[in-house]
Amino acid sequence: MTITDTEYAQLRDDAAVVDLGRRGLVRVTGRDARSFLDSLASQDLTVLADGDGAHSLLLQPQGKLTADFRALQLGSEELWLLCDDGVGEVLAAGLNRFKIRVQVEVVDASDESAQLSVRGPRAVEAVASALGVAVPGALHAHVAWNDARVVRAHWPGVEGVDVVGPRAVVADALAALTAAGVATANEDALEVVRIEAGVPRQGSDIDDTTIPQEAFLERAAVSFTKGCFLGQELVCRIDTRGHVNKLLRGLVIAGADQPEPGAEITVDGKSVGKLTSVARSPRLGVIALASVRREVEPGATVTVAGATAVVRELPLV
């Protein structure tokens, strides 16, 4: 992972744009689009109006994760579901499996789509000026820019705006931003900021074995007051009278060596978890996200690849 202090500083202290290239995008369209999706997804989507968005999950019937996504409502009969690269196909297949007697089309449009992200305290100002749009204030809310959507997308401690849509349109947005003087940063720099913010990535920090509460996804992506949704029984049972055995935590690792994702975490020689994402932060040194046994609480000292590390709550910064 290669970053410069300048790129990191722009993302943390000013504004920088990162070209993310291909990302997951599933289009759900038709008269029954919202009601169909709401019947399966963990979040209450019935309250969405045109331009609104929400964080949601598609779970397996057993309550484990199929896909983590953001749902954007466009008009009255279309939703865009934004997810991590490689997840679009899984999400589309998971929805199509339940498409019975409804007027809805579910299409994985990931191959035709792209995404960029502007991060930093000046992100909203920079996007508004360069693209000539009024960036919404609410998280996941969005406005049109040509055939793309400009989405409010801040992380804990980090302001953010995403632009997602057809590849050529997103390329035009990138050109407009850089022409307006917005600095560029690479994905490695954004990865450092993501880990500091404690935002899990599907395929790295969460996967199809993850229960929402293990990564604190229930806090923003699950409605406990809506009607039934796929996997509801387990998620609600844990919420009311149970707990999970492992949790997503941050680690700050001593020394200069950077262990690989998957490295074992131990306490007194006993395995208590593993690293899921690792980076070197100019501010904190070597940092990681990790799946850790629940009894290993924040503040605990652990060992990773022969180095000492401190378990931290998220976000790290």
| pLDDT-derived band at 242, boundaries 50, 70, 90 | confident
> What confidence tens digit (pLDDT) does each residue in 59-118 have?
999 999 999 999 999 999 999 999 999 999 999 999 999 999 999 999 999 999 999 999
Beta carbons of 151 and 53 less than 8 angstroms apart: yes
- What pTM was computed for the model? 0.96
Model confidence at 4, pLDDT cuts 50, 70, 90, reads confident
Pairing of strands 16-21, 183-184: parallel
132 neighbors 176 (Cβ within 8 angstroms): no
H-helix or E-strand spanning residue 25: strand 24-29
Three-class DSSP category at 191: helix
pLDDT of residue 5: 85
Mean pLDDT of the chain: 97
205: its two tokens: 């920090």
Residue 288 neighbours by CB under 8 Å, 6+ apart: 195, 250, 251, 253, 259, 261, 275, 276, 277, 278, 279, 304, 309
Strand partners, 274: 264, 291
Sign of CA dihedral 278, 222, 49, 80: positive
pLDDT tens by residue, 130-166: 999 999 999 999 999 999 999 999 999 999 999 999 9
Helix (H, G, I), strand (E, B) or coil at 18: strand
- Read off the pLDDT of each residue in 4-10 and give the average, rounded to a whole number: 91
User: What are the tens digits of pLDDT across the range 286-316?
Assistant: 999 999 999 999 999 999 999 999 999 999 9
Half-sphere exposure of 198 (CA within 13 A, CB side): 20
Residue-wise pLDDT for 106-138, tens only, equals 999 999 999 999 999 999 999 999 999 999 999
Identify any residues that bridge with 273 across adjacent strands, giving them in sequence order.
265, 292
- The two tokens of residue 235 are 């998620």
Q: Which residues are bridge partners to 308 per DSSP? A: 303
Could you tell me the domains of the chain?
5-194 (3.30.1360.120), 245-317 (2.40.30.110)
- Percentage of the chain beyond pLDDT 70 is 99
190, pLDDT greater than 60: yes
More confident site: 1 or 219: 219
